[in-house]
Structure 1
Amino acid sequence: MMNNNFYCVIMAGGVGSRFWPVSRNTRPKQFLDILGIGKSFIQLTYDRFIKIVPGQNIFVVTSAAYADLVHEHLPDLPLENILTEPYRRNTAPCIAYAATRIRHMNPDATMVVAPSDHFISNESLFIDTITAAMNYASHQDELFTLGIDPTRPETGYGYIQCSMKESTTVNGNIAYKVKTFTEKPNRELAQVFVDSGEFLWNSGIFVWNAATICKALERWLPEIYSLFKDGDKYYGTPQEQAFITKIYEDCPAISIDYGVMEKTSRAWVFQASFGWTDLGTWESLYLHAPKDGNRNLIKCHDTMIDSTTDSVIVSHEKDKLVVVKGLSNYLVVNTDDVLMICPREEGRFKEVIADLAVNDKSKYM
């Protein structure tokens, strides 16, 4: 039987520009079936948490522009559980909104907060780990995050250093006191982290009880918490959205990691190994998706590929033959209005995205 004090907050307000041109401002990657398995990222995320948390206790925080998309992809989610942000302000305001609203509904609530666009390969282990973490956090005045055993010196993830002398075991899951957070190191430093055995990848998944995170926000981000503390007067009423729109105008943009987790002495990290991947870029998809004998990731309806290696080739047009010859380490992505061909290197790809706005091509963003 599920715990009625368990709540889930799915953060789904990002644009996902690094998956351009498939991911667009009007339909970002959390609403796409990039894996080609018949479900979008947000549907996969919801399906995982519905096995941990009662359906009426799942909330999605998203941009106001994406509310209809959330409802389209998650028709079973109550409309009042779609919390819309008028402006993007990073994760701290998003979590402050969700935490104060959930605390208003249930002062005994314990929350798991997760991005909408991660891939989990071992779902049963994920469910066991999250459930154990939530049960433990429900009676602790501590803040928990989940850290993933690193398998390579990844430069696209943040790292959490564990205090190896301060740990506890919960249903076979080890939690360490957090020593430091480091955001996306260079390759050399990432290798040092992996070799040390003290660092975990920062998954961006958090577990805490609502009262504890609200106290932490009040302590470390009073400029944000003070805006939401009057929410009890408006939450669940017709005035809620007007209240949120007004306070978001004054809300600073800051991440929960930087604003709270890096400052508090109450941060702990559960060590996890449930096959987590942040599929944030074409490169990360390339690393984890099946490839052909020439190490090409191909997602097309009809292709002729010759003398091409180590490339990503994607086309969503059913009636188009994609012919590629003589490429190595390239990214080829075809949509109905954009064809992009560029080297796979992340840096060059970012340059392509940045150039759109400057060259009056923002309609393709």
Structure 2
Amino acid sequence: MTSKDNYCVIMGGGIGSRFWPFSRKTLPKQFLDFFGTGRSLLQQTFDRFNKVIPTENIFIVTNAMYADLVKEQLPELNPEQVLLEPARRNTAPCIAWASYHIRALNPKANIVVAPSDHLILKEDEFLEAIGKGMQFVAQSDKLLTLGIKPNRPETGYGYIQIADKEAENFYKVKTFTEKPELELAKVFLESGEFYWNSGLFLWNVNSIINAVEALLPELAAKLMPGKEIYSTPAEKAFIEENFPACPNVSIDFGIMEKADNVYVSLGDFGWSDLGTWGSLYELSPKDDENNVMLKCEALTYNSRNNIVVLPQGKLAVIDGLDGYLIAESDNVLLICKKDEEHTIRKYVNDTQMRLGDDYI
């Protein structure tokens, strides 16, 4: 196996509604610089994998409306490396299309699939695990995911239960469990058998295509007839016609939870899924009262455990709040309990229904 056989697919088409109003439909979270580093989450993800994957072997799959944003943020990519979805159809169609496309370029390809909004603090350890994982899937037909050692009973992540050890740090997956209630999450943590599901996947291109065709035949039926036209000028028209008719299904539910050749590599990379304001709060520096001010100024009185996010140049004066999210962006100000952020999607839906798209 040589590096020219290694590919990366970065999924960057989501809206990031749980980060509203900071994340908007026209500028979702993957294109934002949350930490003031000068690089967006998408750019940081690209930078990370570009250390071990050739630039020409990195593909971005995103919604067609974000074509210009990707081009602006990643000018080193050719247009052919940006696969534009004409409709949002979840992760299984996204991954299937990218896999057919890459197989047409290299039928021996090994692929790592990554979301565009994850944070990795221990990058060297992470990239070492990616390298070992690529070797693992290159030598077998196994589907591999990365499991993260939990350090708390987190209810916002899915869990993977491990079974038999296959090789050094590679285990057969016994079960997948969606986001559990707190008491069950405590049991998972104490058992030592459960790891957080990172949403990062590695496989040989033929292994994943075989799994799609066996377990999601209705999806394969939409994309497989075009196998002769992938990586040709005819591909765009084929995808525009067929992709919107693909079933809306996640790769976890459609493939990983059903396949019998799923394995997990275990690690602790300082990983976080930046999926919610709560996850951002946990990662951010805090003042003496555990308040987080993200790239803004705030004066707090009798206030603790809050996260404040305002446009640069604005000042918040906060008195008597405990555990709140205060976020303003453009024409929206959101104030709600930090621990009830699961209701943000409800706020987004209600706003859209009552007031239209101007605030979304």
TM-score range, shorter chain: over 0.9
Aligned to 1:189: 184
Task: Determine the C-alpha separation between the residues in 1 that align with 2:12 and 2:250.
Answer: 15
Q: Which amino acid aligns with 2:61?
A: V
Aligned to 1:37: 37
Task: Determine the C-alpha separation between the residues in 2 that align with 1:278 and 1:2.
Answer: 30
Structure 2 stretches lacking a partner, 5+ long:
none
Task: Determine the C-alpha separation between the residues in 1 that align with 2:296 and 2:278.
Answer: 21
Task: Determine the C-alpha separation between the residues in 2 that align with 1:36 and 1:294.
Answer: 22
Q: Are the structure 2 counterparts of residues 347 and 115 from structure 1 closer, same or farther at C-alpha, using a change threshold of 3 Å? A: closer
Residues 12 and 115, structure 1, Cα contact 8 Å, conserved in 2: yes
Aligned to 2:166: 167
Aligned to 1:111: 111
Match of 1:13, SS state, is: coil
Task: Determine the C-alpha separation between the residues in 2 that align with 1:231 and 1:98.
Answer: 13
Match of 2:355, SS state, is: coil
Match of 2:245, SS state, is: coil
Q: Residue deviations 1:120-171, cap 9 Å, x none?
A: 00001111000110012111111100010011111111101100x33311xx
Is 1:269 paired with 2:264? yes
Aligned to 2:305: 310
Q: Are the structure 2 counterparts of residues 44 and 168 from structure 1 closer, same or farther at C-alpha, using a change threshold of 3 Å? A: same
Superposed, 1:68-217 pairs within 5 Å as 68-163=68-163, 165-169=164-168, 174-217=169-212
> Which of 298, 315, 323 does residue 321 from structure 1 map onto?
315
The structural deviation recorded for 1:303 is 2.7
Match of 1:352, SS state, is: helix
Task: Determine the C-alpha separation between the residues in 1 that align with 2:295 and 2:252.
Answer: 38
Task: Determine the C-alpha separation between the residues in 2 that align with 1:217 and 1:347.
Answer: 32
Match of 2:147, SS state, is: strand
Is 1:341 paired with 2:340? no
Is 1:232 paired with 2:231? no
Residues 343 and 349, structure 1, Cα contact 8 Å, conserved in 2: no
Q: Are the structure 2 counterparts of residues 17 and 79 from structure 1 closer, same or farther at C-alpha, using a change threshold of 3 Å? A: same
Q: Residue deviations 1:174-207, cap 9 Å, x none?
A: 0110011111111111111111111110000000
Q: Are the structure 2 counterparts of residues 298 and 2 from structure 1 closer, same or farther at C-alpha, using a change threshold of 3 Å? A: farther
Task: Determine the C-alpha separation between the residues in 1 that align with 2:226 and 2:3.
Answer: 25
What's the TM-score, normalizing by structure 1?
0.95
Q: Which amino acid aligns with 1:201?
A: W
What's the TM-score, normalizing by structure 2?
0.97
Task: Determine the C-alpha separation between the residues in 1 that align with 2:134 and 2:35.
Answer: 29
The structural deviation recorded for 1:7 is 0.2
Match of 1:4, SS state, is: helix
Residues 217 and 260, structure 1, Cα contact 8 Å, conserved in 2: yes
Q: Are the structure 2 counterparts of residues 102 and 12 from structure 1 closer, same or farther at C-alpha, using a change threshold of 3 Å? A: same
Task: Determine the C-alpha separation between the residues in 1 that align with 2:346 and 2:252.
Answer: 27
Count of residue pairs the alignment pairs up:
359
Q: Which amino acid aligns with 1:26?
A: T
Identity among equivalent positions (%) equals 50
Task: Determine the C-alpha separation between the residues in 1 that align with 2:232 and 2:289.
Answer: 58
The structural deviation recorded for 1:25 is 0.3
Q: Are the structure 2 counterparts of residues 363 and 188 from structure 1 closer, same or farther at C-alpha, using a change threshold of 3 Å? A: same
Q: Which amino acid aligns with 2:152?
A: R
Q: Residue deviations 1:191-240, cap 9 Å, x none?
A: 11111111110000000000111111111111111222233332222221
The structural deviation recorded for 1:298 is 0.5
Task: Determine the C-alpha separation between the residues in 1 that align with 2:4 and 2:309.
Answer: 43
Residues 36 and 295, structure 2, Cα contact 8 Å, conserved in 1: no
Q: Residue deviations 1:80-116, cap 9 Å, x none?
A: 1000111111111001001111011101100000000
* CA RMSD, 1 decimal: 1.4
Q: Which amino acid aligns with 1:298?
A: M
Q: Which amino acid aligns with 2:316?
A: V
Is 1:364 paired with 2:349? no
Aligned to 1:3: 3
Superposed, 1:40-51 pairs within 5 Å as 40-51=40-51
Residues 52 and 127, structure 2, Cα contact 8 Å, conserved in 1: yes
Task: Determine the C-alpha separation between the residues in 1 that align with 2:153 and 2:45.
Answer: 26
Q: Are the structure 2 counterparts of residues 309 and 361 from structure 1 closer, same or farther at C-alpha, using a change threshold of 3 Å? A: farther
Q: Which amino acid aligns with 1:267?
A: V
